[in-house]
Amino acid sequence: MSDEHKKQDSPLVKLMQARLKAAELRVRAAHQSSAGYQRQAANPVYDGQEAVCMGKAAQVDALSAKSSAQADLIDAEADAEYTAATGKEAPPKC
C-alpha cells in the first residue's frame, strides 16, 4: 500500500472526515431557521396565521435540533473510534 493510501486510511484522516461531515450537518441546522415563521407569527395577516406559523416554526426548530444532534453523534462516534484505534484521546476540534 502506498504512503498516500496509508494516510487516507489513517485514524486521524477518518476522524477529520467525520468532523467535516458533522460540520456540514451543523451548517444545515443553521439553514433550518424558524426566524421567518416567527416574524410572520408576530405580524399575522389573517385570523389564525399566528398559530399556523408557530406550528411551522416548531417543525423547523425540530428539524434543526435533529441535524445538530446527528452532528454531535457523528463527532462522539468518531472520537471513540479514534481512541479505540490509537489508544489516545482525539485532538481538540479547533
Partner 1 sequence: MLTPAEKRKHAEVLLQHDQSKMAHAMAGSLIAQANLGDAITGNEPTTADHCYIDREYPLLGKCRYEGGRLVQIEHPWANGQITVCKQAGIDVAFQWSADPAAGMDQGELLRIWIGTKDAGPRLQWDGRTGKWQRLISNGNYGNNWACGGTWRQDKPLDQREPLYYETLVEADPDIAGTIARIRD
By the criterion CB under 8 A, which residues form the site for partner 1? Answer: 7-8, 10, 12-13, 15-17, 19-20, 22-24, 26-27, 29-31, 33, 93-94
Least separation in angstroms between residue 70's CB and partner 1 is 13
Least separation in angstroms between residue 1's CB and partner 1 is 15
Residue 26 or 52: the one with the smaller Cβ distance to partner 1 is 26
- Look up residue 75 and give its three cell numbers: 463527532
Least separation in angstroms between residue 16's CB and partner 1 is 4
DSSP secondary structure letter of residue 82: H
In angstroms, the CA 1 to CA 84 distance is: 23
Residue 88 or 93: the one with the smaller Cβ distance to partner 1 is 93
How far does the chain reach from its first CA to its final CA, in angstroms? Answer: 31
Taking alpha carbons only, the member of 58, 76, 68, 63 closest to residue 25 is: 68
